[in-house]
Amino acid sequence: MCRPAATTFLFVTVFVDMLGYGLVVPLLPFYAGGLANGAVLVGALGSLYATMQFFGGPFLAGLSDRVGRRPVLVVCLLGASLAYALLGLAGTLSLVVVAVALAGAAGGTQATAQAFIADSTPPEDRARGLGLVGAAFGLGLMAGPLFGGLLSLHSLHAPALAASGLALLNAAFGLFVLPESLPEGRRSRTPLLRLDPFSGLVRTVRMGGTGPLLLAVFLLNLSFTGFLYHKPARG
């Protein structure tokens, strides 16, 4: 079973990841709207984040099979911290684009945290450990928009800078308390060029019974993000 400090770190990591996402994403139309007009631009930024996560998530999860979970989790948090700091300080559209792309590419914490749980828990405790990751995901997504809205009353840059600080603090926490869960002898030697999302998607679909589930999740996220990135028209 994970040590209490490690379990706390994993919970806080996923929570902070989704808290930062929830702090910033609902305000993304306002970050972009101050620099350029157009709902298409706001939607494109949301799609850029998701595209980078689509490629970055499987790559980082596969990379953690090669080098271990701990360094990938810490680097993801550092990358997220840098991305949110750039977004909070951005004065040009190009810098907003770079920040959003980096935030999406660094969004591999959930898959790696789940792998850490699978490494370090016996089968009878694994569902409970993975449930903690899911709980952290939901709590962060729930609390982020609330705190982001409150912080935006002080400054539009405050939510992104707060998310950056939280991610940086958690990265420092992980350096001190998180052990490595994947021993050298169990690590994969898969070439980096094969750590692409398409190969993993094909293998998952071929497992049988997963196609309808993946389609349902796709449609759910499509409808959710379609309204999330909508910028209300000015009256």
The per-residue DSSP string of the chain comes to ---HHHHHHHHHHHHHHHHHHHHHGGGHHHHHHTT---HHHHHHHHHHHHHHHHHHHHHHHHHHHHH-HHHHHHHHHHHHHHHHHHHHH--SHHHHHHHHHHHHHT--HHHHHHHHHHHHS-HHHHHHHHHHHHHHHHHHHHHHHHHHHHHHTT-TTHHHHHHHHHHHHHHHHHHHHPPP-S-GGG-----GGG--HHHHHHHHHHTSS-HHHHHHHHHHHHHHHHHHTPPPPP-
Q: Looking at the structure, do residues 45 and 128 belong to the same domain, yes or no?
A: yes
Domain of residue 204: give its range: 196-229
State the pLDDT at residue 235.
45
Q: Looking at the structure, do residues 217 and 114 belong to the same domain, yes or no?
A: no
Q: Looking at the structure, do residues 175 and 202 belong to the same domain, yes or no?
A: no
Q: Looking at the structure, do residues 50 and 125 belong to the same domain, yes or no?
A: yes
Q: Looking at the structure, do residues 129 and 74 belong to the same domain, yes or no?
A: yes
Query: Is 187 inside any structural domain?
Result: no
Q: Looking at the structure, do residues 71 and 131 belong to the same domain, yes or no?
A: yes
State the pLDDT at residue 125.
76
Q: Looking at the structure, do residues 114 and 222 belong to the same domain, yes or no?
A: no
Q: Looking at the structure, do residues 203 and 168 belong to the same domain, yes or no?
A: no
Tens-level pLDDT at each residue, the chain (235 residues):
556 667 777 887 788 777 777 766 777 777 666 555 566 777 777 778 878 888 887 788 888 888 888 898 899 889 989 998 998 888 788 888 898 889 888 876 777 888 888 887 777 777 877 787 788 888 887 888 888 888 888 887 888 888 889 889 888 888 888 888 787 777 877 776 666 666 766 666 677 667 677 777 777 767 666 655 554 544 4
- Looking up residue 109, the CATH number of its domain turns out to be 1.20.1250.20
Q: Looking at the structure, do residues 84 and 60 belong to the same domain, yes or no?
A: yes
Q: Looking at the structure, do residues 24 and 122 belong to the same domain, yes or no?
A: yes
Number of domains in the chain: 2
Task: Note the pTM of the prediction, 2 decimals.
Answer: 0.79
Query: Is 85 inside any structural domain?
Result: yes
Q: Looking at the structure, do residues 165 and 212 belong to the same domain, yes or no?
A: no
Q: Looking at the structure, do residues 119 and 90 belong to the same domain, yes or no?
A: yes
Query: Is 235 inside any structural domain?
Result: no
